[in-house]
Amino acid sequence: MNAGATYGLMQIFGAAVPVGSMLGIAGIYLMGAIYARLGSASVTPALRRQAIHVLAYGAVPMAVSLAVWVLTALLAGESAFLAAARPEDEGFIAILLSAQFISYVLLMIWSVVLQVMGFSEILGLSVGRAFGVWVLGQLVGVLAALFLAVIIRTLVPGS
């Protein structure tokens, strides 16, 4: 949580890029399987591909958010990764991180809208029902992640 105190900016980026890429790709395939299952009684390869396509298209705003995060981190330097900013950086860092957070929330809303619209089209549902399917898929995904985290914490103590 206080990575800026022990690691340099390039070390943080160097660890975030490969790990984030692998987890992002795995997450899209996992969520595609979940939504394909929720959208149909029998999972067909075509529905799984369409769900992955919708998720990938809906992830474009999150990729823009990543670019905003990188720009923010480069402007703020190690101060962005400290638990408490240095006194001389506090005002600038607070404004910069607030702007980054606001842009993240707006881009996340855009991402949700794109995904709900996509699910509405591929599943032939109204937007309200498609939003319900989206929420249900997110809940299943969160529960799966929590279950995986519990298993990892049980099998690998101290992780």
Task: Tell me: pLDDT of 147 over 90.
Answer: yes
Tell me the C-alpha distance between 85 and 64, whole Å: 25
* pLDDT confidence tier of residue 82, bands split at 50, 70 and 90: low
Residue 157: CB atoms within 10 Å: 6
Q: Using an 8 Å Cβ cutoff, are 134 and 119 in contact? A: yes
DSSP state letters, 53-64: HHHHHHTHHHHH
Tell me the domain boundaries of the chain.
Answer: 3-155
pLDDT for res 89: 64
Q: Per residue in 18-68, pLDDT tens? A: 888 898 899 999 999 899 888 876 556 778 899 999 999 999 998 898 889
Residue 1 has pLDDT above 60, yes or no: no
- Cα of first residue to Cα of last residue in the chain, in angstroms, is 14
d(CA 26, CA 8): 27
